[in-house]
Amino acid sequence: MKNNIKQTLHVFAGILFLAVIFAACNDSNDLGFEILPSEDLINVKSVVVKDDISAFTFSETGLISSGGTSMLGSFNDPDFGSTHINFAAQFRLSSFPQYGTNAVADSVKLYLYYRSVYGDTLTAQNLKVYELESSLDPDIDYTQDIDLKSMSYDQLLGEINYTPKVELDSASQDTMYQLISIPLDIALGQKLIGADSMDMITNDAFLEYFKGLYVESETISGQEGSLLTLDASSSSSFQGSALVLYYNNDENIAKELDPEQEPDTLSRAFIITPNSARVNSIEHDYTGTPFIENIDQEVIQDQNIYVQPTGGLKSKILIDGLETWRDSVIIRGTDTIKYAINRAEIIFQVDTVVSDKDLYAPPPQLLLTFIDDEGEERLPTDYFFNPGFYGGYMYDGYVYRFNITQHLQRIINGDVGNNGFYLSTGRRSYYANRVVLESPLKGSGIQLKITYSTFME
């Protein structure tokens, strides 16, 4: 009979967890059992935790910067200091080249496509192109600190001053592809034409002969600049960026001399494919920033916390006292009164005063990971339950919300430790949008809203 009563109570408690929420906020110190009225078998309450939260800005290291989408540019951010990104890639054969008789290079150009610009569209970027001396390996995960300059020849192949732009398609309102065209030394064209047949029999052989190109963005000083997100790799619907050789041969010259024939524009494209190594080197300089004095420590909090992609910055979030909930149970006879988390939501507020949200758009989504007992970052259980339920999107009012209900329950149950969280941008290696958030010391700061129930077991 007693077992049947217990089962009924479990069902009843489950229904209450989903259907009953009371708006009764208590202090963050009310996390102990003293908030539970002794006369109630099941009780539902809400608390807002603020004072027990602390946040610190940390630099990221070891970001994998190869594969995926690539970036290029030099950007002086008024809140985050300077970011400098260079780019290198392999170019592959689409077929065995047939240049004809006595082929001669007319010109050779590097075409780089992009659609996204973060920063201004007024400052010209000075881009320089070099041939790679050392090979890249598409199977290696290169990190942001790779020295691409040391892997390249010293001879400059081409240089251009380019001012980025953004245009929208009038019909779809989608961002249109923009093209950077960089003329290169004709000697590179002759090298490509002069390759032995054995150098072009396979792509592996060709990549030993021509290892690729390194594109350097010269550091900008005194102006803002920008970061470009390149559409480098080809896809089923887009050719991608490419190295294009324009040439002539005896057969085409004969057409030029024949009034009854039209000569051709002969060209050969060497493309960046998904199988090509594509690598960024990324440098950040935080000199003069408001957080430089307190970065990478857990003692002094700033008025703001800073989250930046491209191997930049993340925030470490500590919430004191969560693990004490598991010690706040009371045994009444043979029954134990326990906590059940109905909902736990952590909320971050964008500081729209310190940083101009219109000039520097915040990322549409952030990523919250927890720190396990080995110090590694892990995604909370709520993410795997449903990424949409877990959240992290920017909502109206410029706030980011994360549902960590199941994760908090696991802390209370003792399944995971309360070692803190990291807040970062999800697309760390190819996304330029960054954000300044209010710290717990300022304004709305960071809030953890918890709705919970207590029940007998």
- pLDDT digits over 3-56, tens only? 443 444 343 344 333 333 333 334 433 444 343 344 445 678 888 999 999 999
Where does a domain end: 276, 307, 337? 276
Residue 62 CA to residue 49 CA, distance in Å, equals 33
What's residue 29's pLDDT? Answer: 39
Q: 33 and 100 share a domain? A: no
Mean pLDDT, residues 254-280: 90
What's residue 174's pLDDT? Answer: 67
Q: 97 and 47 share a domain? A: no
The band of 172, judged by pLDDT with boundaries at 50, 70 and 90, is low
Q: 115 and 214 share a domain? A: yes
**Residue 136 in this model has a pLDDT that exceeds 90:** yes
Mean pLDDT, residues 225-230: 95
**Residue 1 in this model has a pLDDT that exceeds 80:** no
Mean pLDDT, residues 95-102: 92
% of the chain with per-residue pLDDT over 90: 67
Give the chain's domain count: 2
Residue 204 CA to residue 358 CA, distance in Å, equals 46
Q: 420 and 402 share a domain? A: yes
Q: Where are the alpha helices (DSSP H) in 227-317?
A: 250-257
Q: 145 and 104 share a domain? A: yes
% of the chain with per-residue pLDDT over 70: 85
Q: Which domain holds residue 128?
A: 70-276
**Residue 144 in this model has a pLDDT that exceeds 60:** yes
Tokens 């080995």 map to which residue? Answer: 374
Q: 249 and 161 share a domain? A: yes
pLDDT digits over 396-425, tens only? Answer: 999 999 999 999 999 988 899 999 999 999
Cα dihedral angle (283, 289, 291, 294), rounded to 10 degrees?
Answer: 80
- Which residues are paired to 126 by β-bridges? 161
Q: Report the half-sphere exposure of 295 (CA within 13 A, side-chain side).
A: 18
**Is 2 a member of any domain?**
no
**Is 285 a member of any domain?**
no
Cβ–Cβ under 8 Å, residues 74 and 224: no
Read off the pTM: 0.84
Q: 166 and 313 share a domain? A: no
What's residue 173's pLDDT? Answer: 52
**Is 8 a member of any domain?**
no
Q: 112 and 214 share a domain? A: yes
Look at 49-53, 254-258, 331-335 and tell me which has the smallest mean pLDDT.
331-335
What is the three-state SS of 106-133?
Answer: EEEEEEEEEEEEEECCCCCEEEEEEEEC
What's residue 392's pLDDT? Answer: 94
